[in-house]
């Protein structure tokens, strides 16, 4: 009798344990976010004879990529990245935060108003510190979750000379993100039943994220900027980048790609591309691909509009279910400009399938959901007494966006993009990657400590970082308002091994965490 009771108890425990770890017990939520692409014509300050041998073109075409997240049914926030597209300000890039209102007026017609605060720039003399305040008000037409609109706005580089009213146009496409609370990170949930809940009926999303290492080989009439004497570029440029791919079919994807140079010229060259790609599968591990991107590029090359095309071909080797390697080559060409280069490089790839219990293209059922922790942060960064060339050293204020990807509950990978908005170095930006470690929570689970070691590339604004390589260790403390939201303060040191930057810094930021629902077949 005792053996029977014991056996029943064990079976009951296993049953309860299994119920607690089935996917139906996972508390999930769906964020209906928006990707907004906008285009603005910005008038240049023609009353200033800034260049003795060069006359500014009267307008600059300004494109923007914004990712907006609803706070409630009428208020949204998000982040935006803007770049010069036409004119002669190629290399002007900005990064900032958005806050907006969206209210229905009549049927499919909506009122939309927003404000964007950030930092960036191109030619420092035009933007000085780099701070930008971009406000808009206008109308939006929505149909089937897609929309377009027109707005009247004001682009104001409030530390410099570019500031004027304008009219802009935008299109908006949906981007759904299905997540769970950050409290559920690093857990496995067995998919052993079919759910009729609307959340789980939708298929998973297939994506790829990759870090790219490229080499540009300029030729033709490629030249440096006027500061370097408009000289021919004959040396190789070393480029570090990041790319996100979202699959529309099993072999067709759209992507966004950003690069920064760390060797070959004075630091400051960047690019941003959007495009479409196609895979040709040779085996279940190897495929060929072709891509076509269009976007903006510039900085430390001859003064051009920025509009650039970038066709690319290559091959992928999928090493595991999640990780792979890629080799590729392409042609980077300024449309209507002089810069052109052949390119070659390689990528480290991460394959993602998340947010559902069925493959979106084969219909294959998912066996397991693993929750993966992700934190997104917005920071204000202060760097003290930063070394510059040609202008006095000074403190810098930067606005930063940061992503932390948990490897486990202790260690994480971090990526960050930061742009200057005060400190007379508009156009300075850096992108860094690193490894971090968290402590356990203490003080009633309200506080935790962290430390990071990161390195990357930087340039622009006459910051004396040499060709752009920088290293930055930091340490700080988190205050956890709840499972998902936290505030943090950190401090560290940034230096450039091939330049003269050696600056202490303080960072203050806000973080939002959630769990990605990674699927395993």
Residue-wise pLDDT tens digits, 277-336: 999 999 999 999 999 999 999 998 998 899 999 999 999 999 999 999 999 999 999 999
pLDDT score for 16: 40
pLDDT score for 303: 84
pLDDT score for 195: 72
What does the H/E/C string look like for 175-195? Answer: EEEEEEEHHHCCCEEECCCCC
**Which residue ranges does the chain devote to CATH 2.40.160.20?**
34-177, 205-351, 370-520
What is the residue-wise DSSP string for 102-161? EEEEETTEEEEEEEEEEEEESSHHHHTT-EEEEEEEEEEEEETTEEEEEEEEEEE-TTSS
pLDDT score for 15: 40
pLDDT score for 8: 43
CATH of 370-520, one of 2.40.100.10, 3.40.109.10, 2.40.160.20, 3.20.20.60: 2.40.160.20
**Beta-ladder partners of 307:** 296
Q: Which of 240, 239, 215 is nearest to 432 (CA)?
A: 240
CATH of 205-351, one of 3.60.20.10, 3.90.1200.10, 2.40.160.20, 3.10.310.30: 2.40.160.20
- Cα separation, 245 vs 211, in Å, equals 12
What is the residue-wise DSSP string for 43-91? E--TT----SS-PPPSEEEEEEEEEEEESSSSEEEEEEEEEEEESS-TT
pLDDT score for 7: 45
Residue-wise pLDDT tens digits, 371-409: 999 999 999 999 999 999 989 999 999 999 999 999 999
For the chain, list residues with pLDDT below 50.
Answer: 1-20, 51-52
pLDDT score for 520: 86
Residue-wise pLDDT tens digits, 106-147: 999 999 999 999 999 988 788 999 999 999 999 999 999 899
CATH of 34-177, one of 2.40.160.20, 3.60.15.10, 1.20.1260.10, 3.40.50.300: 2.40.160.20
Other residues' Cβ atoms within 10 Å of the Cβ of residue 15: 10
pLDDT score for 48: 57
Contact 372, 216 (CB under 8 A): no
């Amino acid at each position: 009798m005792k053996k029977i009771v014991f056996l029943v108890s064990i079976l009951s425990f296993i049953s309860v344990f299994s119920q607690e770890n089935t996917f139906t017990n996972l508390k999930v939520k769906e964020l209906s976010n928006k990707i907004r692409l906008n285009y603005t014509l910005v008038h240049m300050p023609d009353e200033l004879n800034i260049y003795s041998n060069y006359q500014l073109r009267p307008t600059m075409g300004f494109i923007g990529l914004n990712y907006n997240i609803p706070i409630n049914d009428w208020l949204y926030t998000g982040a935006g990245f803007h770049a010069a597209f036409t004119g002669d300000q190629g290399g002007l890039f900005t990064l900032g935060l958005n806050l907006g209102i969206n209210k229905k007026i009549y049927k499919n017609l909506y009122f939309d108003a927003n404000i964007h605060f950030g930092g960036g720039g191109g030619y420092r003399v035009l933007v000085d510190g780099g701070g930008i305040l971009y406000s808009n008000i206008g109308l939006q037409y929505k149909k089937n979750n897609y929309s377009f609109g027109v707005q009247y706005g004001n682009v104001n580089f409030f530390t410099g000379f570019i500031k004027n009213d304008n009219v802009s146009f935008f299109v908006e496409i949906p981007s759904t993100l299905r997540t769970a609370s950050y409290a559920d990170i690093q857990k496995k949930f067995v998919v052993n039943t079919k759910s009729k809940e609307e959340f789980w009926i939708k298929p998973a999303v297939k994506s790829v994220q990759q870090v790219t290492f490229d080499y540009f080989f300029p030729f033709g009439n490629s030249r440096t900027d006027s500061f370097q004497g408009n000289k021919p570029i004959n040396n190789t440029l070393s480029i570090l980048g990041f790319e996100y791919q979202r699959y529309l079919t099993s072999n067709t994807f759209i992507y966004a790609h950003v690069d920064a140079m760390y060797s070959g010229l004075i630091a400051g060259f960047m690019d941003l591309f959007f495009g479409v790609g196609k895979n040709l599968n040779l085996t279940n591990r190897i495929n060929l691909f072709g891509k076509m991107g269009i976007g903006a590029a510039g900085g430390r090359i001859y003064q051009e509009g920025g509009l650039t095309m970038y066709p690319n071909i290559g091959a992928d080797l999928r090493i595991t279910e999640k990780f792979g390697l890629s080799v590729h080559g392409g042609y980077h060409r300024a449309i209507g400009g002089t810069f052109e280069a052949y390119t070659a490089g390689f990528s480290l790839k991460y394959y993602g399938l998340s947010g559902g219990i069925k493959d979106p293209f084969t219909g294959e059922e998912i066996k397991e959901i693993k929750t993966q922790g992700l934190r997104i942060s917005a920071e204000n960064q202060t760097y003290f007494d930063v070394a510059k060339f040609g202008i006095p050293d000074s403190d810098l204020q930067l606005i930063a966006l940061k992503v932390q990807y948990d490897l486990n509950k202790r260690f994480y990978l971090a990526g960050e993009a930061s742009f200057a908005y005060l400190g007379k170095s508009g156009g300075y930006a850096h992108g860094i990657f690193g490894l971090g470690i968290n402590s356990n929570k203490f003080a009633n689970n309200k506080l935790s400590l962290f430390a990071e070691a990161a390195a990357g590339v930087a340039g622009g604004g006459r910051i004396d970082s040499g060709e752009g390589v920088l290293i930055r260790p930091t340490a700080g403390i988190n205050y956890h308002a709840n499972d998902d939201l936290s505030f943090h303060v950190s401090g560290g040191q940034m230096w450039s091994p091939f330049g003269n930057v050696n600056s202490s810094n303080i960072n203050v930021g806000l973080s939002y965490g959630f769990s990605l629902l990674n699927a395993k077949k």
